[in-house]
Structure 1
């Protein structure tokens, strides 16, 4: 049997440098390029691993330094320093002075027997008061003095009578809820007839096709008269003014009552404006 030897297949470098001078340096560099890359990768990986392991190696080779722990100290719990027996004691603190307040001398009454009570000095007579003035003590004055003796204001009588000032009458309280509500004469049906008969639809509201309710508030006095007419919620276009005009034109109501007596009551009334 004959042995057959297969020729090795040409590489890329052989194809590129075919029929060229392979002794030139470029062919050698390309020939050993893969080996150089593989060697560089190994060396770089080794250097990277050494660099990463350097801190660990340093910690293993060098002794660990003992770290001083921070200790929190409570100053309030520190015991006082020892007392030196040779040291003199500290001086006592100065006395605290209390603030001075106004005082009034007051002597309590003292009970004495009748024989120890001094005799009372009789009051001056009318003749003595003509030439002298009552005072705390008796003393002689200058007879040549022309000073006019004037009676003190405390003892002088009133010079004029002040006119009595009448207090203004207190306004009665306005109730919102009472035992007996105020009522229109004839009841609610009569009130509806009065409103439908007297309300005039405003032209502006009619042209704008406005309809709805106007809520009016007013006070019914103890005599049934209407007061303080205001609009709580209106529609505009003249409906608010028309509602207030009709309410003010109402006859007197029957007043509301609380505990059997007439009182002032605040009443809210809705007035309907509806186009036919």
Structure 2
């Protein structure tokens, strides 16, 4: 393989044979080596000149830098004097003795007491006004219902004659004997719980329906009402269950006579 360079004269003459050699391309080809070497040496000379100039400038500007206001030098050592702390005497405040004045309680003495006969003495009877009776009944959908009703207690201030209540509806607090369901209140709660059909409600855990009814003199249930209905058909279901009870109660008694008794019943439904 030929080692002929494209920048040699024979090769250039071959390329530009029968062509216009006066054109700039021919001259550039022939003088390319010379131009390259000239540019290289000129670059070296330029770099050397810059380095020389920088060295000369640094030589002439190498003056000593003087720092103004040098730090003051301490010629004498600092002496540390021991400080003696003296005890501060606190002023003692004398204790103030509190003098408690003795209060003399004078007891009233009976002067010339008057004796009266026993018939003239007024007999005062204590009245129990703080004892209030509450009836709390709860029921859930599984057939268990809360606590048993509480029997009214108290002290009468007077012995009055028997009152004929007739068709009046009375509260359980004044009864001599509470109404009783056949088999006890437990059977009543169980019946309500087993027969109560709860709806399927999402997002609800516990709901309460408050109902009221009247136990008649013959033991039947009447005036069944919903006092507080949470909705979802629970009030209607509570009325349906209470009306389905066929068993009769033993009515409430006052002075050995049956009376119409009002009952309030909260029914609690647990949604599971």
TM range (shorter): 0.3 to 0.5
TM-score (norm 2): 0.36
TM-score (norm 1): 0.36
